[in-house]
Structure 1
Amino acid sequence: MACKLGFVIAIIATAFAAPAAHAQGAPEPFGVWQTQAGDARVKISKCGGGICGVVVSLRDPIDPMTGKPQVDNKNPNPSLANRPIIGLPLFSAMQPVAAGKWSGQIYNADDGGTYASSVSVTGESMLRVEGCVGALCGGETWTRVGR
């Protein structure tokens, strides 16, 4: 009987330890990431029960046409078109949908559109960012800056 009880306790302990071990082993998205084109860096942090991403630097922070800091001039909302790109939230409160994956909306300052999106950690220093318009989807891989 003691042998069977020890076996049952071992199985229960393994079952409870497995999710914790999996959660600890999954790479986290938190930190600063460089876009695939290398034109921007985005800081991802916890917010609420999800993640948020904010532009923290640009390769070319000054607009060559105006000589002033880059602004969100592609935004269709005139009241937002003059906000600086540095500090611009690209996504907020993306919610976890699976281990290492979050889903929500992402803002694209290149065209002023907001799209259904997902963010997936694909390695310790790789992040896959995807967006969709209807059935048309595209994405890019961001790389972690420092660590």
Structure 2
Amino acid sequence: MDCTSGRVVAIIVAVFAASVAHAQGVPEPSGVWQTQAGDARVKISKCSDGICGVVVSLREPIDPMTGKPQVDNKNPNPSLASRPIIGLPLFSGMRPAAEGKWSGQIYNADDGGTYASSITVTGESTLRVEGCVGALCGGETWTRVGR
């Protein structure tokens, strides 16, 4: 191998190593996450050029008042108020805002509102989910379930 070929190989190896190190630097949000209260689990996956989140399980999947599966009964849209909570999309197409952070809107089935939101990977098994109405903001930390 001549000197020029050696440099080309060294550059390719360096670029590959840097991209692997970058990919390992910030954990991905893809996976199943439990809400802070432990009442629901949400599956986050990549969709289009962002991330999506869907409710995959509930601590109490059956409504004690009706004996039937929990539904989105706080939704102000009557045509959506009977859809099941399990399978409910909480957010779709949240877009990257910074490394390890996505922004968009999130639906809150507890009150039927949709809020400006951000999701930030804060550790290998923690995710910060925040929502705002005007200047009032709040959030919670979700924990990764399994791996």
Secondary structure of 2:23's counterpart equals helix
TM value normalised by structure 1: 0.88
Pairs aligned (count): 141
Unaligned runs of at least 5 residues, structure 1: none
Secondary structure of 1:22's counterpart equals helix
- Which amino acid counterpart does residue 25 of structure 1 have in structure 2? G
1:92 aligns with 92
- Which amino acid counterpart does residue 109 of structure 2 have in structure 1? A
Match status 1:125 vs 2:125: yes
1:57 aligns with 57
Secondary structure of 1:23's counterpart equals helix
More off after superposition, 106-115 vs 19-28: 19-28
- Percent of aligned pairs with the same amino acid: 86
Distance 1:84 1:24 in 2: 37
1:82-103 per-position Cα deviation (integer Å, ceiling 9, x unaligned): 0000000000000001111000
Unaligned runs of at least 5 residues, structure 2: none
Match status 1:44 vs 2:44: yes
2:22 aligns with 22
1:86-136 per-position Cα deviation (integer Å, ceiling 9, x unaligned): 000000000001111000000000000000000000000000000000000
Distance 1:84 1:73 in 2: 9
- Which amino acid counterpart does residue 23 of structure 1 have in structure 2? A
Distance 2:17 2:97 in 1: 21
**C-alpha displacement of 1:24:** 2.9
- Which amino acid counterpart does residue 41 of structure 1 have in structure 2? R
Distance 1:20 1:137 in 2: 35
Match status 1:136 vs 2:136: yes
**C-alpha displacement of 1:19:** 5.5
Distance 1:57 1:16 in 2: 39
Secondary structure of 1:21's counterpart equals helix
TM value normalised by structure 2: 0.88
**C-alpha displacement of 1:21:** 2.2
**C-alpha displacement of 1:15:** 7.8
